[in-house]
Amino acid sequence: MHDIITLPGLGGSGETHWQTIWERTDARFTRFQPASWDQPDLDDWEQSLERTVRRCAKPPVLVAHSLACLLVAHWAARLPPAIAGAFLVAVPDPDGANFPVQAVSFRPLPNSPLRFPSLIIASTNDPYGGLEKSEKFARAWQSALIVPGELGHINASSGLGAWPQGRALLDAFRAGLRG
């Protein structure tokens, strides 16, 4: 089975975030490590992702949350993708009113199709990205889209804990990948 790389968003994923919980309970998960979680720099984040992917024995699956979803789109547009697929949770709107100013290097967002299987998970009440934007990203990136309801930003503040529904979606996504 594929290695799994977790890509937290701005601030990293704390102890009660589903990404961190998944990492603690499954040794196949590896977290990428940029220089700063709080002052994100797109070039640094891309280099960190590239280093982490190169360390994998075979093409991994990326599990990105929030700002890291934008990282995946940028990285895929610039470099030949060496990944099996991307599970993109709570894609933020880089032009939205709530987009963090410290992440300005992640604008503008590429709209070219991703060259690997991808799945966007979007909440109907995400304060960082409306459902219409998620649908637009899914069309542009040629990603599948699943909308599990009102889950906020699908983060620790959403009170999801280990988020078993998300883990089942990831497992189903991974099962459908080649390799």
Give pLDDT tens digits for 143-165.
999 999 999 999 999 999 999 99
Write down all domains in the chain, each with its CATH number in brackets.
4-175 (3.40.50.1820)
The pLDDT value given to residue 178: 76
pTM score, whole prediction: 0.97
**What is the Cα–Cα distance from 24 to 17, expressed in whole angstroms?**
11
Q: Using the CB atoms, write b or e for 93-124: b if 16+ within 10 Å.
A: bbeeeebbeebeebeebbeeebebbbbbbbbe
Query: How would residue 82 be classed by pLDDT, with cut points 50, 70 and 90?
Result: confident
The pLDDT value given to residue 79: 77
**63, pLDDT greater than 70:** yes
The pLDDT value given to residue 179: 60
- Residues contacting 166, CB < 8 A, separation 6+: 18, 89, 121, 148, 154, 160
**What is the Cα–Cα distance from 112 to 143, expressed in whole angstroms?**
11
Cα distances (angstroms) measured from residue 67 to each of 27, 39, 153, 176 = 24, 12, 11, 25
Q: How do residues 16-51 score in pLDDT, each as one tens digit?
A: 999 999 999 999 999 999 999 999 999 999 999 999
For tokens 């099962």, what's the residue?
A: 175
The pLDDT value given to residue 1: 60
The answer to whether the Cα torsion of 134, 136, 30, 47 is positive or negative is negative
